[in-house]
Structures are given as structure tokens and as C-alpha cells.
Amino acid sequence: MNKITGQVWIFEDNIDTDQILPGYAMAEDFAGLGKYAMAGSKQPDFAARVNKGDIIVAGKNFGCGSSREQAPVALKAAGVSLIIAESFARIFRRNAINIGLPVLAAELKNMAETGDSLEADLEAGRITVNDKETAVQPLSANVLATIQAGGLINRVRQELVPRQP
């Protein structure tokens, strides 16, 4: 799980949570949120076209706006395996990690285009696109453990279960 490979979707700067998951979708149960992913963006058909494992590459301030937890849930439910952006809104980043959706900070706009194949090594801090490699800040051991557990709730449950001798 430390290496993720997928097709790239490019998004611009300042993608807010209303673009990621519009307000009208908030009444949907968590399982159905994926069909509304990015419906408020310049690519409103994203949810119908995204494939399981695809990767979002975006500019600055991804996930800004309201703190709605459902925004990263919608992306994960749609099949997104990783989000790479120049920077993230702090609460969006935390919400994504808490549900087990990896996020990496890196500037890739001049390196990747929609449809490119991308491989990210979360532990080593390496991203490869079209045979070009770049180093990024790897995820911490704590964040990796949370993602590998499938999110914070699963991690806490695993840690609270008494260990068998």
C-alpha cells in the first residue's frame, strides 16, 4: 500500500469543498457520495469517468472552504486512490487521512497531464510520471499507519483490541 499507481486527473488551484461535493449532495448517505465527486468543478462529469485507483493532481489550496467531512469521502468512494496538490487546506488534509485517503504535497502541474500514468511511493517520497521522477516529502510513519489501517477509526480499533499471546 506504500506504492500507488493510477491515471492522473488535473485540477486547478483553490478547489473548494463545494466543488468537490456540492451542497445538494449532502443528504446522500456516505455510500452514495462518490457519484457526486467533483460535480461542482469545471469537470462535473468526473464521477462518471473516473476509474478506481485514479489520482488527482491539483494546484494550491486543495480542499479549502467548509470543513465538510463528506468531501474526501466522496473522492474515495468515487475511486480516487491519492490526491497530490501543491498545498491543502489543513482540515481537508486531516479529514482525508482520517478516512484513509492518502494526500501528498507536491507541485506537479508542469510534470503531469490528465491521462498520464503516475506512480507514487508514499514511504520513500518519490513520484514518477512519464519516466520523470521527483522527490517529495514522504508521509510520516504515523500517517502511513493510519492510511494502511483504512483510516483513524480502524486504526484505533486495531490498537484497542487486546493482543493474543
Instruction: Read off the CATH number of the domain in which 116 is found.
Output: 3.20.19.10
Please give the residue range of the domain that contains residue 102. 3-160
Structural domain includes residue 147: yes
Structural domain includes residue 165: no
Can you tell me the distance from the alpha carbon of 39 to that of 18, in angstroms, rounded to the nearest whole number? 9
Grid cell at residue 153: 477509526
Can you tell me the distance from the alpha carbon of 98 to that of 129, in angstroms, rounded to the nearest whole number? 27
How does DSSP classify residue 162?
P
In the chain, the number of structural domains is 1
Structural domain includes residue 39: yes
Can you tell me the distance from the alpha carbon of 15 to that of 13, in angstroms, rounded to the nearest whole number? 6
0.85 surpassed by pTM: yes
Structural domain includes residue 114: yes
Indicate the pLDDT class of residue 27, thresholds 50, 70 and 90.
confident
Structural domain includes residue 153: yes
Q: Which residue has the higher pLDDT, 84 or 69?
A: 84
Can you tell me the distance from the alpha carbon of 121 to that of 126, in angstroms, rounded to the nearest whole number? 5
Can you tell me the distance from the alpha carbon of 45 to that of 135, in angstroms, rounded to the nearest whole number? 32
- Tens digit of each residue's pLDDT (9 = 90 or more) over 3-14: 999 999 999 999
Can you tell me the distance from the alpha carbon of 61 to that of 158, in angstroms, rounded to the nearest whole number? 33
Phi, psi of 133 (to 5 degrees): -110, 145
- pLDDT > 90? residue 28: no
Structural domain includes residue 13: yes
- pLDDT > 70? residue 106: yes
Structural domain includes residue 75: yes
Structural domain includes residue 19: yes
E strands, 11-123, where?
A: 55-58, 82-85, 103-105, 117-121
